[in-house]
Amino acid sequence: MYAARLVRALLWPRARMVECGGDTTALIEAWQGEPAVLVVDAMSSGAPAGTVQRLDAARGPLGAVFSRGSTHGLGLAEAVELARSLGQLPASFVIYGIEGEDFGLGTRLSHAVECAVREAALRISEELLAARN
């Protein structure tokens, strides 16, 4: 969310931004009719904290790094695959994942993650600008 807000506030005010606080199934409806969607999310893949990964979800199934594996809500991977099954995945669907460091309640962003947020925001903005042109 920090990355998305940074992109919206500083670099790309006109893009339609949707924040999702937990129920990723709501995203499926949010991206209805959109030709291109870019999602930024935290991930826990075992990579060093602050790693930024770009995944082209339109090309094929996502891995487990975005899967929450919980009955309490679908993870982003499940929501994407569900949309794919329903024929509701946009033609262009890119995910930027930022490797987290501490997922404890109430903790602030670590230095590594804060740097990664800025990096992700810049890369997302560049991608959006390139797509616009």
Binding stretches for another protein (CB under 8 A)? 21-23, 25-26, 28-29, 48-49, 69-74, 78, 81-82, 84-87, 101-102, 105, 110-112
Residue 61 Cβ vs another protein, minimum distance, rounded to whole Å? 10
Residue 113 Cβ vs another protein, minimum distance, rounded to whole Å? 11
Cα–Cα distance, 42 to 100 (Å, whole number):
6
Where b means 16+ CB within 10 Å and e means fewer, 44-72 reads: beeeebbbbbebebeeeebeebbbbeeee
Residue 48 Cβ vs another protein, minimum distance, rounded to whole Å? 7
Give me the count of residues in the chain. 133
Of 11 and 47, nearer to another protein (C-beta) is 47
